[in-house]
Structure 1
C-alpha cells in the first residue's frame, strides 16, 4: 500500500489545494469528464468523502460509510480509504475491539492479494467500513491524550511558580509507600534497594483482578509457591497471592495479615506454619485435590 504521507495536501498562492494525483485516480468521472485533481469518480472531492467516511463510521451510519469506502476505492483513492480507517482504529475505536484486526485483514486482502479498485478490493473496502461502523465508537484515547497533555502543562507551570498544581496526573508523585506501592518490586531500582524479591512480587505485584484467577490458575499459583525451595509462604500469603483486586480500590491490599504488610518483604526465617493454615508440606494435598 502506498504511503499516504507522500500525498499530503499543500495550498497554492491562491489558496487552492495542490497535491499530486495518483495514476489510479486519473481518467474520466461517471459523466465522461476528465477528473480534476482529488476528484472521485462520482464528481466529489476526495477530501470531503474521506472526512465523510470517518464521521459516518463514528456515527454508526452503515450505508453512508459503506458508500464512502466504495467511492474512494473505485476512484483510485484506496490509500486514502485505508489511511482513514486506520486512523479511526486509533482515534475513535474502543480499545480491545476485534474490529481493528478485521480492518487490518481486509486491507491486506484488498491491497496485497487483489487490486484495490477492482471488485474484490471494493468488497473488502465495504466490509472494513461496515466492521468499523458496527464497532463501538469512542473518543476515549483522544480525550485521554488531550487531558493528560493539558495536565502536563498545568504541572509544569505550577512547578515554575513553586505551587502545587491544580490538576495532577492520576498517579501523583508515584513514590514507595503510597497508593501504588505494589509497583516498587524487584523489577525497579527502588524495590531492589528495599529487598523486595519474589515474596513481594507474588503477594503484591502479581495480583490480578477484579475477576481474579480462575480455580485452575489459582491452584497452580498456590502449588508453585508451596513447591518453591527458596521461599516459604504462610497460608495468609497464599491467600493474598490469589485474592482478586477490589474494583473500587484496585491498588488496595486485602486484610489477610500476610507477612510483607509493613514493607519487610525479603525472605526471612519465619516458620511458614501458623494457626490459621497448614504448613508447607501439609498444604500440597489440600491444593492438589
Structure 2
C-alpha cells in the first residue's frame, strides 16, 4: 500500500530498533498471548516472514510463498505483504510479464473492495503470492543497475586520470557515423545539422526489431511513403524502411539497401540528372511499380 514505507523499521540514534506497529497487527497470537511489536499471529517476526515471502517467490516455492502471504495478511501486516510483492515486481520479475498487473489487481481487491485480513483479502494475498511464485524470476533489473553504476564510477575515475576507461557504457561516445548512427535523425541536434529529415527517419530510425513489421503494417508503411508528396522515395528506400533488423547486429544496415540518404542524390533524382540516365518519373515508376501493386 502507499503508506507502507512509513511503517518500515527505523533505528534510533542509540542504535535501538524503533517500530510502529499498526492497530491491525495488535491483539493476541495463536497461543492466546499478547503479540509483541512486529509479531505475527503465528508467533513469527514479521520481518522474517516478509523476507521469506520474497525469497520464496524468487525461488518459485509456491507453498512457502502462499503461507507467508497468508500469515502477513491475517496478522494485520497486509500493507507489508503488498509492499513486498510490489517490490518483487520490479526487483525480481522478468521485464514485460503481465503478472505485475495481476498482482496489482489482487491488491486493489484486497484493500479497496474487501478487508485485507478477512477471508476474501487473504485469498487475494494467496493468489498474488502464487502468481508471483509461478512467474519467471530474474535479477536482471538490479544486476543491470549495479553494473551500470559501477561502470559510471570507473568511467569518471578514468577521465579524472586522463585515461581511457577500462570499462565503458555499451554505447561508447554516441557520435554520428558510429554504431548508433541511426539515432541521429531530425529529432536530434546532430541529425538536424546533418540535414537528416523525414526521409532518414523513415528509412533508418523507424526500422523495427528482428520480427519485422507485420504484413499490414509493412504494406501501410510502403503506401504512405509512396503517397508522400513532399518526399521522393526509391525502391531501395521502401525496402529498407520495412527491413527487420539483424538480431545479431541490431544497429547495422541492410547490405542491399542504399547506404545513406544523400541530399545531393535526392536533388539529382528529382530533376532527372542522375547518372543512371533513365531519369525522372519513368525511372521511379519502373523501380517502385504502381500503387495498385502494393494495394493487392
Please confirm whether the aligned pair reaches a TM-score higher than 0.5, indicating the same fold: yes
Mapped partners of 1:247, 1:274: distance in 2? 37
State whether residues 110 and 120 of structure 1, in contact with CA within 8 Å, keep that contact through their aligned partners in structure 2: yes
Counterpart for residue 141 of structure 2: 141
1:55-134 aligned within 5 A: 55-134=55-134
State whether residues 234 and 274 of structure 1, in contact with CA within 8 Å, keep that contact through their aligned partners in structure 2: no
- Structure 2: 5+ residue runs without aligned partners? 271-279
Q: Under a length normalisation based on structure 2, what TM-score does the superposition of the two structures give?
A: 0.92
Q: CA RMSD in A?
A: 1.9
Mapped partners of 2:228, 2:248: distance in 1? 33
Mapped partners of 1:283, 1:166: distance in 2? 55
1:147-162 aligned within 5 A: 147-162=147-162
Q: 1:273–1:136: structure 2 CA closer, same or farther, 3 Å change rule?
A: farther
State whether residues 197 and 265 of structure 1, in contact with CA within 8 Å, keep that contact through their aligned partners in structure 2: no
Mapped partners of 1:221, 1:71: distance in 2? 55
Q: 1:274–1:203: structure 2 CA closer, same or farther, 3 Å change rule?
A: farther
State whether residues 74 and 122 of structure 1, in contact with CA within 8 Å, keep that contact through their aligned partners in structure 2: yes
More deviation, 269-278/163-172: 269-278
Q: 1:2–1:145: structure 2 CA closer, same or farther, 3 Å change rule?
A: closer
Q: 1:56–1:277: structure 2 CA closer, same or farther, 3 Å change rule?
A: farther
Mapped partners of 1:207, 1:120: distance in 2? 48
Q: 1:26–1:250: structure 2 CA closer, same or farther, 3 Å change rule?
A: same
* Number of aligned positions between the proteins: 286
State whether residues 223 and 284 of structure 1, in contact with CA within 8 Å, keep that contact through their aligned partners in structure 2: yes
Displacement after TM superposition at 1:163 (Å): 0.3
State whether residues 99 and 135 of structure 1, in contact with CA within 8 Å, keep that contact through their aligned partners in structure 2: yes
Mapped partners of 2:73, 2:183: distance in 1? 48
Q: Under a length normalisation based on structure 1, what TM-score does the superposition of the two structures give?
A: 0.94
- Structure 1: 5+ residue runs without aligned partners? none
Q: 1:32–1:201: structure 2 CA closer, same or farther, 3 Å change rule?
A: same
Mapped partners of 2:219, 2:107: distance in 1? 43
Cα displacement string for residues 87-142 of structure 1 (whole angstroms, at most 9, x for unaligned residues): 00000000000110000000011011110000010000001000000000000010
